[in-house]
Amino acid sequence: MAYAERVMMLAAIYATDHQRAEPNEVDFRLLCWELHNSYDGNLFDEAAAAELAQRLTKTDTDSPLRKLTTEHARVLLAEAFKARIAALQHIGRYFDRGDFARGYLIVRCLSARALTLGGAEYVRAEKQFLLSSVEGFFRASWALFTKAQLGLEIRDEHGQPVMTDYGHVYSRDWPSDPNLDALQISVDDLRAVASVLSEPLSSFPALRPNFKNASGATLKYDSALDRLSLRPMIEIEGKERCEHVAIPSPWRYVHAVPEVVLYDFVRQLQDRRTVLLAGKDAYSLRGEAFADYVKSVTKELPRLFDLDAGTELAGQERPDLVWVGTAHTVLVELKFSVKPNDDRILKDTSAAVVAWQRSAEAIQQGAGFVRRHGSYLRDHLAAQGPVILVLVSTDKVIDESIGFRAVAKAGRLLEGTELQAIATLTISEFERWVLLSDADALARETLTAWARLDPFAVSQDSGIVAPKAQRDLPHIEAAWKELFPFYAPKEK
């Protein structure tokens, strides 16, 4: 069902109510299967391999990716394809409400940094985009989701059994909800936020020329067709704006709400950075906000050091964090995302190369830091034992959807460095490691997984499994309580 949302969007674009039979689940599954089996194009021919090899020659001259040669091209093509499939199968297709709260906390850090640069101009821009405050936007977004999840009871006047309509939200039902008053959310707030997150159903037919005679590869991978990752609600027009909205995919909705701010809004900030951010690059600001968030979670932890906090390494290339165990040292590089902003499923091979190059920067920085500042690690931080590198990002299922570890192993990117192994973790995984385990346990799993990694295997298992939390982590629970005072902790 990796293509389910795309089939929904094709239906919205092409289907009409005129003389159409009622759809059923079997029809829907068959359409998904048909799209799955459509032709992907010449993914592994000589031209594709040559294009990838040429793209690798354009990476920075000091990038570790320069170790890769044309002999690796076919392996890398396969890895790029596997990463794309993993992204389609998993990203926006699982439910983790912790990611929603985490997105809120990162956006709050972004807003705080932007406010110091843009002042009142930034406040106006934020209000114009979100039509609410940051807190109000996330609170109203979850209230809309909850209403769609609970559904609306529909009573038949002819005595038929009561039916619950799930996934739809009707504005006529909003005023009767006492929880809205407790949350200080008005009907206008819900309607405003729904308008930010939705696009009218009537606008979809205008997209028909874009996909007329489109190839199977375009229908399967073009980001423009994944509309629910851009706007996760559909407005079913009525007399008033957002009188009736639908959430076709709950997974896409939870995934998309924070990304509407962290990608779409950040793109607008970048376009107007001179006025709103005093000229600062908006994407760099987002990366700094992500680092602020992570360090707010880890700042009280023993033996986990923020290398930006001291003055000894000012101006030096270095990882963001060092986590010191009794027998291992873990270097941590934080990157908001290693994927291009305009191709987050790595549809084009060049996008995969960009993701790998950004990931390889972590090797470059980590290896250089150990080489130049090994005495600092030993004398000031009491670091010892094998050194491993951990890349942490907001990218979902990062190991599978980027495939960088396999690329690094195939290209022997760690040879000649003092780094013994590399791991790529989502921010959720990293938080569970640092809050529920220790550096030595992570290092041991990383070393074992690296030794076992076969870059030529079709199926990859990272072998690095973060500890499971029995309930929401403390900072996630605090974020939910901030948004919803009556929040009940989630027991696992």
Q: How far is CA 58 from CA 24, 80, 353, 383, 469, in A?
A: 50, 18, 10, 36, 43
Looking at per-residue pLDDT, the higher value among 44 and 53 belongs to 53
Q: In this predicted structure, what is the pLDDT of residue 296?
A: 96
pLDDT band at 172 (very low <50, low <70, confident <90, very high): confident
Q: Where are the domains of the chain?
A: 77-93+281-470, 95-274
Answer whether CATH 3.40.91 is correct for domain 77-93+281-470. yes
Give all strands (DSSP E) within 131-277, no chain letters: 152-154, 163-165, 168-170, 198-200, 233-235, 244-246
Between 31-40, 108-117, 140-149, the lowest mean confidence (pLDDT) is in: 31-40
Paired tokens of 40:
């992907």
Q: Which of the residue ranges 12-26, 298-312, 327-341 has the most confident prediction, judged by mean pLDDT?
A: 327-341
Determine what percent of the chain is predicted with pLDDT higher than 70.
91
Q: In this predicted structure, what is the pLDDT of residue 26?
A: 84
Q: Which of 82, 68, 73 is nearest to 44 (CA)?
A: 73
pLDDT band at 315 (very low <50, low <70, confident <90, very high): confident
Residue indicated by tokens 């985009």: 129
Between 53-67, 113-127, 289-303, 385-399, the lowest mean confidence (pLDDT) is in: 53-67
pLDDT band at 137 (very low <50, low <70, confident <90, very high): very high
Pairwise CA distance, residues 107 & 289, whole Å: 8
pLDDT greater than 90 at residue 96: no
- For 327-395, the DSSP string reads S-EEEEEEES-SS-TT-TT--SHHHHHHHHHHHHHHHHHHHHHHHHHHHHHHHHH---S-EEEEEEESS
| Residues constituting the chain | 492
In tens, the pLDDT along 232-270 reads 999 987 777 788 899 998 888 998 999 999 999 999 999
In tens, the pLDDT along 432-480 reads 999 999 999 999 999 999 999 988 776 666 678 999 998 899 999 999 9
Paired tokens of 287:
């990366």
